[in-house]
Structure formats: C-alpha cells, structure tokens
C-alpha cells in the first residue's frame, strides 16, 4: 500500500467520482481507476459501491478512509518536519464562519505575504464539526469557540473531542439580535419572537442561545423553533424581515452596514481557540499561530 494510492483513494471517496477525483489530482481518469483496482486487489476487499452516477464507500472503504486520513496527515507532517525552519507544504485550516469574516482576513493576508510556500486550505463549519475533523486527521487545526464558561485557562479542549489541545486566541461578546421594532428585552422571557435563526447543531453560538433561552418559562422553550440557515447573511436577513431573532458575535455584527437596524442585547462571552491534535506541530502551524495572536 503506497501513499499515492491512499491519496487517490481519499480523493475518490471525497468526490464520489473517478472523473472528478482525476481532475482534482491532475491525473488521467484511467490511471485513477487502475490504482483503485490495484488497491482493492492488494487488500482483498471492495472499497466502493459503483453505480452510474457515483461511487460510495463500502463498510471496508469507510474503515480504510480513517487510516488513510491519519497516514497522509502524518506523512505531510513528517515532510514539513524536515524543513522545520521554513514554513512550507500544506496546512488544512478549519474555521467558523464568523471568524472567517471578522477575524481572519488580515492575519491570513500577512501569512500569505510572509510564507508564500504554504498552501492553506480553508474549510468552514460549526465548531463541533471542525473539532471532530481535527481529531479525525481531516484538518490540521481549527478556530473554534468553546461552549463552556469561565476563564480560558479553565476550559479543556477534550470537552469538544478526545486528544485535542488548544491555544486561546480571543473572546467574542455574544449579543441577542432582534428587529429594531422589537420591544426592549431584559431577560429571555421578554423575547416575543419564537423562531431562532442559526446554524445546524454543533454551532457553539446556537448552543449558547439555547442555554440562555433555557432560563425562560416553559411556554417559550416549548414553542421555540430553530430555523437553520446557511450563512450569517441569511440569518441577518431573517432578523431584518422580523421573522426571527439570533445570537451573534458583536464583532461580526459590526461588519454589517445596517447594524443600527437591529436591537441588540448582551448575552455572554465565548472564548475562541486554535485547536490541534496533541503533539502535532509544523513550522507552517507555528507561523499561523503567531499571526493569529497578532490579531
């Protein structure tokens, strides 16, 4: 079993198509097909279920994918370790949408200018999904908000996924965002809307919103509906339309040109960390951490 075979296997698993995988890897389609067949023959198992539209992993293929992710990540880490003084290679960075919009543009611009040999791959998602992806070797590191309260040093990244450790970056002030016409809110019981606009489960800010609302009476909790949205733009559009409320980082709301059109109420603080697997380090990662700490 060769690393090249595992890389091809992972690409097909991700793309669910030999054609798309070949395009992503810049290989001819016949070569991808042959290498997958050779890998299956060497292992004595079928890795993909094939039909006319897509290729999906079998149970054996799903098991191999976990090993492939770890082996390929370790190989990349080893390559970079040989050039520990020069940030180079690939760095797979996960980030929440809010951090990508409000916190990352300047640090990443400086990072790219200083270290052009690093290929930064960025994936967005909920904090929990990103933490899980780091633990599964699908990402090298991720910017996530911890759902716990207290000081940053009191929080453990193990609460999010086993084997993770994190470096504190910044604290976000979370605010309840309501239409400007909504009556003044002092406590959860004062919220008249019954729809919360937010991301899917696994979003730390959604969890904070639900925990804050849990202080309200039984009627509000029982009648609350969560409308899952694909972006913060969509969330704010729902609030502007008067059909929902949201809980967002104050730094993100400040980027919105029409922030005066909303009524906001402070809710709580949420601490944000750069998480990685325990023991993982490369020059590319350390350089990124330095830039993120500069803000």
The residues that bridge with 155 in the sheet, in sequence order, are: none
- Where residue 33 sits, what CATH number does that domain have? 1.10.10.10
Angle at which helices 3-15 and 29-43 pack, to 10 degrees? 110
Domain containing 110 — which CATH number? 3.40.190.10
- Please indicate, yes or no, whether residues 42 and 89 belong to a single structural domain of this protein: no
First to last CA, the chain: 43
Instruction: Round to whole Å and give the CA distance between 275 and 92.
Output: 12
Q: What percent of the chain shows pLDDT beyond 90? A: 59
Mean local confidence (pLDDT), 184-200 = 90
pLDDT in tens, 247-288: 999 999 888 766 667 889 999 999 999 999 998 988 999 999
Most confident range (mean pLDDT) of 48-62, 116-130, 175-189, 254-268 is 116-130
Based on the structure, what is the number of domains in the chain?
3
- The domain containing residue 112 runs over which residues? 83-171+273-294
Ramachandran region, residue 222 (left: φ > 0; alpha: ψ -120 to 50; beta: rest): alpha
Distance between CA atoms of 221 and 215, rounded to whole angstroms? 9
Summarize pLDDT for 52-84 with one digit per residue, the tens: 778 999 999 999 998 898 898 888 888 777 776
Q: Are residues 204 and 180 in the same domain?
A: yes
For residue 289, the model assigns a pLDDT of 96
Compute the mean pLDDT over every residue in the chain, rounded to the nearest whole number.
Answer: 90
């Amino acid at each position: 079993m060769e690393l090249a075979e595992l890389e091809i296997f992972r690409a097909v698993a991700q793309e669910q198509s030999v054609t798309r995988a070949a395009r992503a890897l810049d290989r001819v389609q016949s070569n991808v097909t042959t290498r997958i067949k050779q890998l299956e023959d060497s292992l004595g198992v079928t890795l993909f279920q094939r039909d006319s539209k897509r290729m999906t992993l079998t149970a054996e293929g799903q098991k191999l994918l976990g090993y492939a992710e770890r082996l390929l990540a370790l190989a990349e880490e080893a390559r970079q370790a040989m050039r520990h003084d020069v940030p180079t290679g690939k760095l797979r960075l996960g980030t929440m949408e809010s951090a990508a919009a409000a916190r990352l543009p300047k640090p990443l611009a400086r990072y790219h200018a200083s270290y052009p040999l690093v290929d930064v791959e960025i994936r967005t998602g909920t904090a929990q999904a990103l933490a899980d992806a780091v633990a599964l070797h699908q990402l090298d590191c991720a910017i996530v908000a911890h759902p716990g309260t207290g000081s940053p040093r009191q929080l453990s990244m193990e609460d999010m996924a086993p084997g993770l450790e994190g470096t504190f970056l910044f604290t976000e002030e979370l605010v309840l965002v309501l239409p400007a016409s909504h009556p003044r809110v002092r406590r959860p019981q004062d919220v008249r809307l019954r729809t919360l606009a937010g991301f899917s489960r696994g979003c730390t800010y959604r969890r904070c919103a639900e925990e804050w609302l849990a202080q309200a009476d039984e009627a509000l909790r029982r009648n609350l509906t969560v409308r899952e949205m694909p972006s913060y733009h969509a969330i704010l559009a729902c609030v502007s339309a008067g059909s929902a409320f949201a809980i967002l980082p104050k730094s993100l709301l400040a980027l919105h040109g029409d922030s005066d059109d909303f009524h906001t109420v402070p809710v709580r603080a949420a601490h944000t960390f750069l998480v990685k697997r325990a023991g993982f380090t490369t020059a590319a990662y350390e350089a990124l951490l330095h830039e993120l700490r500069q803000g």
